[in-house]
Amino acid sequence: MFAANVLLGVVTASNVPTEPVVLDNMDSTVVKDMKNAFAGSYQPCMEDAYQGQFHHDWARNKGSALFTYKFMPPADGCYSVEEYHPGKNPSCSRYLPTNAHLDIDYCKGKSAAFEVNQATKGGQWNQIVSGLMFYKGIEGRLTMKNHQGEVCGMGGDCFWIADAFRLTYKGPSCNDGTMPSGGASAESATTTGDNEAVRPSQKESEQVQATAANVATESAVMQETATVTLRLSLGEDLDKDGVTLKIQEHKPHLEKTLAVHLGYKSASIVEVTASGRRLLDDRSSQMSLLVRFSVQEKLRTPSSQETFQQALQSDFNNIVPGVTIEAVSNVEWLNSVSKEGTTDNDSDSTTMHLVLALVCGMLVFIGVGSFCLWRCLSSRRKTKIPTDSERSVVKPCEETIIEGKNVVSDKDLEKAEKFDYCDTGSTGTPSSEPPASLDGINSETNSMMDEDVPTVCVVPTA
């Protein structure tokens, strides 16, 4: 594809190469072997990948993924080796390993091992070794490998990268102090390089593995279930049943994409439900794909919806060519279950309990306050307040009678004027009653009636 990327160099009359040789992962003429390596689809890494593309391991198959480039030296001599990987964008570099493995077969049967920090200095050429001997007609090889002890900024499994290498002719031999012309051990080859991206293998690999084990032990396992709906357009000769079957066969690809772009360590597809219809042209159809999946251990913020759809489209291009993703719904989270440690759900549950406790406390306070107020008002109502009538003593008139009113004293008289006058047992007023005797006939009778009906007075109390 990119055959032009292999610059075999301009050889002068003295057979000295003047141009470097570039080995690109997308050039089939320089790819010797490839295992568990896949073309890239993550946009932040494709931005500055060499020639816009790279290969990676989907952050799985650790210890069994490799990518081997072959190098045919244009002339005998000493060559420097440089490596290129993407990663200027932090959204890319955070997933790349700090200790990728590189094996170089050089000279006549010699080999050297290196570690490459792919998490730094992305989007540029980085020197691996200043000089190694290669001989014309003897194939050299550069093999990138992944491994279990990889460490990257995001934690968890890293995305190992194989992108490009550049070899530059330095002279007829490496005996000038840049690199021994004989075989170099992994450690000596590493220490002579002037790039901090190259580091010793064995000791740090052990430290890396220990760190990875500690991270795995300390991390809380979080499992959540969600669904996402894909609206697909199927090309000619494709049907929903066939597409669904292909998806089932290649679930690991989609699972990795779900995990990476939703920001989780891993994802597992639980169920795939398809529904669709044939269009009027009878040559294409549409289908809706409901994917239910679970994820574990939140690591980072999710990718944008556009990037997520692009990654899924790249997967479908490899799994079922001819399928176009027209739309991707928002992820609908169904539930979350904490299996170990403290999780976000625990925090949410604690917050909810706290809110409920506060609400209950307020209700109890209001209830107690209302009860106390009711008791206070009730006790006030039960307290007897004397009335004006209760403050007056009603008794028969026994002393001085003034105009039919019995007044005890002058003071009583003054007070009596403020109250109703004494009434007799009759219902009439004094002025309405007939006089005791006008003609002398009823005087006795009237006198007897006055004696029978007691007259009462209202005497105000002091």
More confident residue, 308 or 407: 308
Same fold: 3-213 with 220-344? no
Place of tokens 């060499």: 50
Tell me what pLDDT residue 386 has: 56
Domain boundaries, the chain: 3-213, 220-344, 385-430+447-462
> Encoding tokens for residue 55?
């290969």
More confident residue, 254 or 432: 254
By CB atoms closer than 10 A (0-12, 13-18, 19+), residue 432 is exposed
* Bridge partners, 289 (sequence order): 230, 274
What percent of the chain stands above pLDDT 70?
Answer: 64
Query: Which of 281-290, 313-322, 349-358 has the least mean pLDDT?
Result: 281-290
- What is the SS3 assignment for 75? coil
Confidence band for 300, pLDDT divided at 50, 70 and 90: confident
Contact 161, 85 (CB under 8 A): yes
Please tell me whether the overall predicted TM-score, pTM, comes out greater than 0.75 for this model. no
Average pLDDT over the chain, rounded to an integer: 74
Tell me what pLDDT residue 7 has: 44
Tell me what pLDDT residue 183 has: 35
What percent of the chain stands above pLDDT 90?
Answer: 32
Distance CA 173, CA 169 (A): 10
More confident residue, 237 or 110: 110
DSSP strand pairing (140-145 vs 124-134): unpaired
More confident residue, 249 or 167: 167
> Encoding tokens for residue 388?
């004006």
Contact 2, 26 (CB under 8 A): yes
More confident residue, 423 or 192: 423
Place of tokens 């003054």: 414
Please say if the pLDDT value at position 424 is more than 50: no
Domain 3-213 has CATH 2.60.120.260: yes
More confident residue, 406 or 54: 54
pLDDT, average across residues 275-289: 68
Tell me what pLDDT residue 379 has: 79
pLDDT, average across residues 219-230: 74
Which CATH number is 220-344's, of 3.90.190.20, 3.40.50.2300, 3.30.70.2040, 3.30.300.30? Answer: 3.30.70.2040
More confident residue, 419 or 168: 168
Please say if the pLDDT value at position 6 is more than 50: no
Distance CA 185, CA 173 (A): 18
Contact 332, 228 (CB under 8 A): yes
Tell me what pLDDT residue 219 has: 41
Tell me what pLDDT residue 171 has: 93
| Sequence-distant (≥ 6) Cβ neighbours of residue 6 within 8 angstroms | 21, 22, 23, 24, 27, 29, 30
Tell me what pLDDT residue 341 has: 42
Please say if the pLDDT value at position 253 is more than 60: yes
Please say if the pLDDT value at position 143 is more than 90: yes
pLDDT, average across residues 41-69: 93
